[in-house]
Copies of this chain bind each other. A is one copy, B any other.
């Protein structure tokens, strides 16, 4: 592995000059610059991260605090990580994984991000140590989705909207409920507890069970919202498409309406914001990213005329 000294020797200059060329931190004559660059390419020289960091007091690394369990069932952690990695890499940084409950964060990274939204009151307790409070707040809110779903249905004339929530043990579940209630209030509709079913767990057949509970009850509903990928799969399986259904995750599986979560954009934005913050820029206090509703082809669009959401 070639060092800066090898480059300097080959180019016949001092290694400080090489550094100046590479960092543009001092004026260098055209002639020497060319000599240096030639030597760099010839040797395939790449600056040594550790050595550079030692001086600059920068690690060129972004830490990711990884919770022991996937906190956010709206978004796929793998996709999120991949996109965060891409964003970091293209800025010359790399991503360092650290368990959220581990001790030493210290000087391993210049800044820390975490996978999760600070909105849910349940979330903080998952972090053993203090949460990364200086993380730029990029928010992607399930309450928005719930609200949007309700609005979509009420704009189309529905008045009694059923909700199959996530079990309350799941972080983030409260946001769905919150958005649902808020939207009902704003639409001037009353809240009927009989229209809300909370499944026992977040699995396929819990969705089926919840759906059957709702259907068997005397509560009539003319629209339905289902949270959670697994639950929704179960519901869609047994649903008779009598009323419009909106699920938490758009899926190509069937023509059901659902949300597309901006996972990639979210990760990307979070990393970019952090980098800006590290550069000393004052960043926006909060950035909101909204899931978008994808209208399906099945049992909904056909029933509703004048429907203009995309």
- The answer, yes or no, to whether A46 is at the interface (CB within 8 Å) is yes
Nearest Cβ in chain B — how far from A13, in angstroms?
A: 23
Task: Check if A276 is an interface residue, CB within 8 A of chain B.
Answer: no
- Known contacts A81-B66, A205-B254, A237-B237, A50 near B99 by CB under 8 Å: no
Please name 13 pairs of A and B residues whose Cβ atoms are closer than 8 Å in the assembled complex, sorted by A: A48-B107, A49-B107, A50-B53, A50-B59, A51-B54, A54-B54, A70-B78, A78-B81, A85-B99, A86-B99, A94-B98, A94-B108, A204-B251
A96 within 8 A of B: yes
Query: Counting chain B CB atoms within 10 Å of each CB, which of A48, A68, A99, A234 scores highest?
Result: A99
- For A25-45 the 0/1 string (1 means CB < 8 A from B) is 000000000000000000000
Could you say which residues of chain B place their CB within 8 Å of the CB of A81? 66, 77-78, 81, 97
Q: Are A89 and B102 in contact (CB under 8 A)?
A: yes
- Interface residues in A39-75 by Cβ distance below 8 A to B read 46, 48-51, 53-54, 59, 61, 64, 66, 68, 70
Known contacts A89-B102, A253-B205; is A107 also within 8 Å of B50 by CB? yes
Whether A310 is near chain B, meaning CB under 8 Å from some CB there, is no
Of the candidates B68, B78, B94, B102, the one whose C-beta lies within 8 Å of that of A96 is B94
Q: A233-B204, A233-B233 are in contact. Are A66 and B85 (CB under 8 A)?
A: yes
Residues of A84-104 at the interface with B, using a CB-CB cut-off of 8 Å, are: 84-86, 88-89, 94-99, 102, 104
- Copies of this chain, complex-wide, total 2
Across the A-B interface, the 10 shortest Cβ-Cβ residue pairs? A204-B253, A77-B78, A95-B97, A85-B97, A50-B53, A50-B54, A78-B78, A50-B50, A237-B237, A94-B96
Q: Give CA–CA (A91, B95) in the complex, Å.
A: 19
Q: Is A130 an interface residue (CB 8 A)?
A: no
Q: With a CB–CB cut-off of 8 A, which chain B residues contact A251?
A: 203-204
A106 contacts the other chain (CB 8 A): yes
Contact B46–A106 (Cβ < 8 Å): yes
Question: CB-CB < 8 A to A252: which residues of B?
Answer: 203
| Complex interface: chain B residues within 8 A of A88 (CB) | 97
Residue contact B85 to A98, C-beta cutoff 8 Å: yes
Q: Which of A111-156 contact B (CB under 8 A)?
A: none
| B residues less than 8 Å from A253 (CB atoms) | 203-205, 230, 234
> Given that A50-B54, A204-B254 are contacting pairs, would A99 and B108 also be in contact in the complex, using a CB cutoff of 8 Å?
no
A150: min CB distance to chain B, Å:
26
In chain B, what residue has the closest Cβ to A1?
B107
